[in-house]
C-alpha cells in the first residue's frame, strides 16, 4: 500500500496463531471412520474455506459429502467433538512467525480488528487467555460471516474500504475483501499450498508486514 491503512481486518487462525493446520486435521479426526477419499474431500474443502464456521462446514459435509440429513443435533454433536480436539491445542500453539512483534508495533498506529470463523464466545475466550485482547478494537466470531463482519466494521467505524486492508489465509477472507473493495494480503506458510490467485501479495510470515503497510 502507498500509505499506512487506517485499519486492518485480520483473520485469527493461520494469521495470528499458527493453528490452521491443527484445526484442519481435526476435521479428518472427527471423520476418522469414513473412507479415506471422503476425508480427503473434507480436508480440501476446509483448506479452501478456512474462514467458514465449523457448524456450516459440518452441515455441508453431512449433506453434500456423506448424504446424511445434517440436522441441528448431528451438527452440534460434531461441533462439540471438534472443539474437544482443538481448544486446548489452540491455547498452547505457536504464533505465526512475526505475529507478536507485528501486533505490538501496529496496534498503536492502526485499528486492528480480528474476524474469525471460530464461534464468538470461544474466540473471545481464546483471545483473552492468549493475552491478545489489548491489541484489537473488536473481536468478531461465528456465526457472523466474514463479509458481513467486514461490512459492519467499515460502516460502524466510518472506514474507507480503500484505506483498509484485510489479511487472511483462506479464500473466504479474499472473497469477502474483494466484494467490498478492500485491499487484501494473503498469508500462506511455506509448508502449505498458496490458495490465492495470481497478483495477490502472499507472505509466509508477518515479519514483512510493517514495511508492506508503511508502518515504519
List of residues 6+ apart from 187 with CB closer than 8 A: 11, 14, 15, 96, 167, 168, 169, 202, 203, 204, 205, 206
Sign of CA dihedral 159, 1, 8, 167: positive
Chain segment 151-170, per-residue pLDDT in tens: 999 999 999 999 999 999 99
Q: How many angstroms from the chain centroid is the CA of residue 206?
A: 14
Q: What is the pTM of this model?
A: 0.93
Listed residue (179, 130, 141) closest to 17, CA to CA = 130
Under a CB-based contact definition with an 8 Å cutoff, are residues 141 and 132 in contact?
Answer: no
What proportions of the chain, in percent to the nearest 5, are helix, strand and coil? 50, 15, 35
CA pair distance 124, 122, nearest whole angstrom = 6
Chain segment 2-59, per-residue pLDDT in tens: 789 999 999 999 999 999 999 999 999 999 999 999 999 999 999 888 889 999 999 9
Domains of the chain by residue range: 7-18+94-212, 20-92
Q: Which residues pair with 42 in a beta bridge?
A: none
List of residues 6+ apart from 33 with CB closer than 8 A: none
CA pair distance 55, 117, nearest whole angstrom = 10
What's the confidence (pLDDT) of residue 55? 96
> Per the omega criterion (within 30 degrees of 0), is the bond before 109 cis?
no
Q: Which residues pair with 139 in a beta bridge?
A: 114
Please determine, for residue 1, whether its predicted confidence score (pLDDT) is greater than 70.
no
Q: Is 161 exposed, middle or buried (0-12, 13-18, 19+ CB in 10 A)?
A: middle
What's the confidence (pLDDT) of residue 97? 96
We find that the CATH architecture of domain 7-18+94-212 is: 3-Layer(aba) Sandwich (3.40)
Q: How much is the average pLDDT of 178-192?
A: 92
Exposure class string for 72-103: b at 16+ Cβ within 10 A, else e: eeebeebbeebbeebeeebeebebbebbeebb
Average pLDDT, the chain: 95
190 — pLDDT class (breaks 50, 70, 90): confident
SS (H, E, C) 2-21: CCCCCEEEECCECCCECCHH
What's the confidence (pLDDT) of residue 47? 86
Instruction: Report CA-CA distances (Å) from 174 to 11, 179, 183, 200.
Output: 11, 9, 9, 9
List of residues 6+ apart from 140 with CB closer than 8 A: 113, 114, 115, 116, 120, 123, 149, 152, 153
Amino acid at each position: 500500500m502507498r500509505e499506512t491503512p487506517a485499519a486492518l481486518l485480520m483473520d485469527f487462525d493461520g494469521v495470528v496463531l499458527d493453528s490452521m493446520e491443527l484445526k484442519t486435521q481435526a476435521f479428518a479426526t472427527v471423520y476418522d471412520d469414513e473412507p479415506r477419499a471422503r476425508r480427503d474431500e473434507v480436508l480440501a474443502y476446509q483448506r479452501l474455506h478456512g474462514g467458514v464456521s465449523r457448524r456450516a462446514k459440518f452441515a455441508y459435509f453431512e449433506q453434500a459429502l456423506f448424504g446424511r440429513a445434517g440436522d441441528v443435533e448431528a451438527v452440534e454433536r460434531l461441533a462439540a467433538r471438534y472443539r474437544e480436539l482443538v481448544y486446548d491445542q489452540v491455547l498452547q500453539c505457536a504464533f505465526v512467525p512475526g505475529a507478536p512483534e507485528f501486533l505490538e508495533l501496529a496496534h498503536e498506529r492502526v485499528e486492528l480488528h480480528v474476524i474469525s470463523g471460530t464461534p464468538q464466545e470461544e474466540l473471545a475466550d481464546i483471545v483473552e487467555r492468549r493475552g491478545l485482547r489489548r491489541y484489537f478494537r473488536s473481536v468478531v466470531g461465528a456465526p457472523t460471516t466474514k463479509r458481513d463482519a467486514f461490512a459492519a466494521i467499515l460502516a460502524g467505524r466510518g472506514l474507507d474500504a480503500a484505506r483498509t486492508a484485510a489479511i487472511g489465509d483462506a479464500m473466504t477472507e479474499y472473497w469477502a475483501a474483494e466484494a467490498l473493495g478492500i485491499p487484501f494480503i494473503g498469508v500462506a506458510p511455506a509448508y502449505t499450498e498458496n490458495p490465492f490467485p495470481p497478483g495477490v501479495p502472499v507472505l509466509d510470515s508477518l515479519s514483512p508486514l510493517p514495511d508492506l503497510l508503511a508502518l515504519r
